[in-house]
Amino acid sequence: MSLFAVIRRALFGPSSSPSSAPDTPVAAPPADTRGEPPASTSDTYLSEEEAAFYLVRDERGRLPVTVSGGWFLHDGTGKRVGPANRALTKAGVYSFNVRGDNYRDDEVTAADTRPGVVAALRREPENRHDKNAILVLGLDVDGGERMIGYVNKGLARSLARRLDGGDDLGARFMRGDPAGRRSQRVAVVVTDSGTMRNLFGR
């Protein structure tokens, strides 16, 4: 057996050769089976159809939405996503204008309700008006709790069950003002901790 044959046998086995070695298959990238995006109907807002197409979590679980200027914005198009959009609620992102804040003007004015500031949700199961009641609280400059208002009854029904069950839910102000100023209605977003960090970038 020639020296070349000995080396070839050692490298590729008794019946193999470099030219006959099988190629390693290369996996094809996953196909996007969603098809074409729906036609746009607005330059400002995502339609329900567009939101259902675009607002899909990636492989890391990230939702392509951020909060800016008191609005949800789609990362790809820059369009606003309405707070009641079904794609958001399906993804576990809820937002609402605080109810009853107009009766607590002093409390709301004293609290820091700037976008991104943490809000507290406190269940009130003994509330005589609504057993599902959820109180929204903020902090003033001294760290004292301030009563902002309540979650609306419709949303409180579903959130109360999740809060009582110990689900990973947090709240942050989505629209509001620094402590000492009151110029607009207060809005809050509620979701899990990972999504919340993505929404506000921290």
Tokens of 172: 């942050």
H or E element at residue 98: none
What are the domain boundaries of the chain? Answer: 42-91, 92-200
DSSP sequence for 9-59: HHHH-TT--TTTSPPPP-PPPPP-TT-SPPPP--SSB--HHHHHHH----T
Tell me which residue has tokens 């700037």. Answer: 114
Express each pLDDT in 136-194 by its tens digit. Answer: 999 999 999 999 999 999 999 999 999 999 999 999 999 999 999 998 899 999 999 99
pTM, full prediction = 0.79
Express each pLDDT in 61-91 by its tens digit. Answer: 999 999 999 999 999 999 999 988 999 999 9
Q: Tell me which of 1.10.3720.10, 3.20.20.70, 3.30.70.2330, 2.60.40.1180 is the CATH number of domain 92-200.
A: 3.30.70.2330
Buried b (16+ CB within 10 A) or exposed e, 100-130: ebeebeebbbbbbbbbebebebebbeeeeee
The DSSP code for 116 is T
Residue 160 CB coordination number (10 Å):
20
Is it the case that residue 111 has pLDDT exceeding 90?
yes
Is the distance from CB of 92 to CB of 121 less than 8 angstroms?
no
Is it the case that residue 22 has pLDDT exceeding 80?
no
Predicted pLDDT at 17 = 47
